[in-house]
Structure 1
């Protein structure tokens, strides 16, 4: 007889946060794809009204399952993982039902982050086991996030003479790197405009940005802003009136600890302000990111893009990217 594990709902203490990370690592080693994306891992220590943590324990007390429900957007989003040794015993169904109840309970206050929302559940890698689980639960695909890759000439970074130069900014613009603290608010504004319809990226807050600045991979030298050029008589760049919001940005990410001959560098976020679109700035900032990642010795460039973002897909296809994997969100009709 299958007996679902007991569950615990509430904030995670430090030990449980580590247990969830260990659980995710075990699932990734088994499946070949990480079951939890960056945002839920950053939120393991977050205790907020719009976020719910649910942990499943074995009869011996070990952490064998976890689901996080984020209700901060128009729809609720969940990411779920079960330990490989404890699958097909009903634990996933229990966590899914718990997540659905948490998301869809009638909202009392009507404030953002409350309940009463349709739930979407991520399946990273869209493995056959995940598709079968979704079908059995009556869930259908509603969104695709594509993982694209292209090789880089890592050898070029070892020779300064052959190291690729960053593309020059077009007339009327300057290219510079991000200044933590000084550029935070301006970047958040243009990010919100560039990703106004994106369910996650466009909702990034100052706390989200600061959390990423605290990660070991963060490097402002790999975070580029294309800003309108106010001209030589504009005065000091540090003056707010002489520091307009960026027209476009390119944020790269390289996780530390990768093998030198097989390092991935990510085009982490690329955006163009709607007021500056139609000028080829997306292609320019893609080239900026690729040149920077090559200079740092990355062997492969990677990125994530929405499956229905035709303009971005066309830009990345022209830059030599090809599809390597897909992540899917499932929901009830």
Structure 2
């Protein structure tokens, strides 16, 4: 018998069950089914969490917000849990990310009236041969992020740089603080470009992922932005190189980033920096 529970905050036991379900799906599918933001919501609350049970076993999980995610445990697939989670999410407009451009997700989406709306590329490049050096515009220097000092300035530049981005441009102080509390957070890798008055004009926030499966430790261009109100020619390229130089100097041999397929300017920049498409995530909307 299928039972659906809806909550805005999971219990500690439910958090463990959801993360265990995600891990089992990754083993089966070869791709982790939850984004970083959803994992943070699983652990800390926020949004709407739907849990589908077969008797006492967690069979499926969905996160519902402006854009959500849905995963069914490998042992419980094709038993109606995905359909039940969609029904519990409601009849209105919905959007879900599918990590990995998998045929099963395509069939499930089409069957339930969803269309392919956005494509997010993960791009990678080797850092073993990275020799580029950053050349900053005149009057601009780079320093590390200072916790407790730079949050509001960074949020302002981030919101302007990503004003038309459906997720990144809406970050709040709580979103930033959640990440500051994560084990991976390192202010030394959160590079801020400032002018002679220490006004923030751009940033390159890097992230280091520990080794996982066949993947070595990965350095990531986590968020890269330039304030459009104080645009300086070449700052985006200079910040990109500075962050990659930081990761290479830290001993990382691989770098990754995520970028919308439709963001032609960013895609062209990253291709020029030696990145190539490694994996595809798809956002389906109804």
What TM-score, normalized by structure 1, do the two folds share? 0.81
Structure 1 residues 146 and 165, CA, compared in 2 at 3 Å: closer, same or farther? closer
* Deviation by residue 1:63-122 (Cα, 9 ceiling, x = unmatched): 11100111xxxxx21100100111011110111121234xx3xxxxxxxxxxxxx21111
Structure-to-structure mapping, 1:222-261, within 5 angstroms: 222-230=189-197, 243-244=198-199, 246-256=200-210
Report what 1:153 is aligned to.
128
Tell me, yes or no, if structure 1 residue 58 matches structure 2 residue 64: no
Q: 2:84 is matched with which residue: 94, 101, 109?
A: 94
Structure 1 residues 264 and 87, CA, compared in 2 at 3 Å: closer, same or farther? same
- Measured in 2, the distance between the counterparts of 1:257 and 1:307 equals 26
Tell me, yes or no, if structure 1 residue 125 matches structure 2 residue 100: yes
- Measured in 2, the distance between the counterparts of 1:66 and 1:311 equals 36
Report what 1:135 is aligned to.
110
- Measured in 2, the distance between the counterparts of 1:267 and 1:151 equals 13
Q: Secondary structure of 1:254's match? A: strand
* 1:263 Cα offset (Å): 1.8
Structure-to-structure mapping, 1:212-223, within 5 angstroms: 212-223=179-190
* 1:315 Cα offset (Å): 0.5
Report what 1:194 is aligned to.
161
Task: Tell whether the 8 Å contact from 2:210 to 2:218 is kept in structure 1 after alignment.
Answer: no
* 1:169 Cα offset (Å): 2.7
Task: Tell whether the 8 Å contact from 1:149 to 1:302 is kept in structure 2 after alignment.
Answer: yes
- Measured in 2, the distance between the counterparts of 1:47 and 1:263 equals 29
Tell me, yes or no, if structure 1 residue 303 matches structure 2 residue 257: yes
Structure-to-structure mapping, 1:272-291, within 5 angstroms: 272-277=226-231, 279-291=233-245
- Please report the RMSD computed on the Cα atoms of aligned residues, expressed in angstroms: 1.9
Task: Tell whether the 8 Å contact from 1:249 to 1:285 is kept in structure 2 after alignment.
Answer: yes
Structure 1 residues 260 and 100, CA, compared in 2 at 3 Å: closer, same or farther? closer
Q: Secondary structure of 1:6's match? A: strand
Higher percent of residues as strand: 2
Task: Tell whether the 8 Å contact from 1:265 to 1:302 is kept in structure 2 after alignment.
Answer: yes
What TM-score, normalized by structure 2, do the two folds share? 0.94
Structure 1 residues 193 and 99, CA, compared in 2 at 3 Å: closer, same or farther? same
Deviates more, 1:256-265 or 1:275-284: 256-265
Tell me, yes or no, if structure 1 residue 320 matches structure 2 residue 235: no
- Measured in 1, the distance between the counterparts of 2:213 and 2:264 equals 33
* 1:276 Cα offset (Å): 3.2
- Measured in 2, the distance between the counterparts of 1:203 and 1:174 equals 27
Task: Tell whether the 8 Å contact from 1:57 to 1:63 is kept in structure 2 after alignment.
Answer: yes
Q: Secondary structure of 1:279's match? A: coil
Task: Tell whether the 8 Å contact from 1:263 to 1:297 is kept in structure 2 after alignment.
Answer: no
For structure 2, the residue ranges without an aligned partner over 5 or more in a row are none
Q: Secondary structure of 2:193's match? A: strand
* 1:168 Cα offset (Å): 4.4
- Measured in 1, the distance between the counterparts of 2:139 and 2:156 equals 21
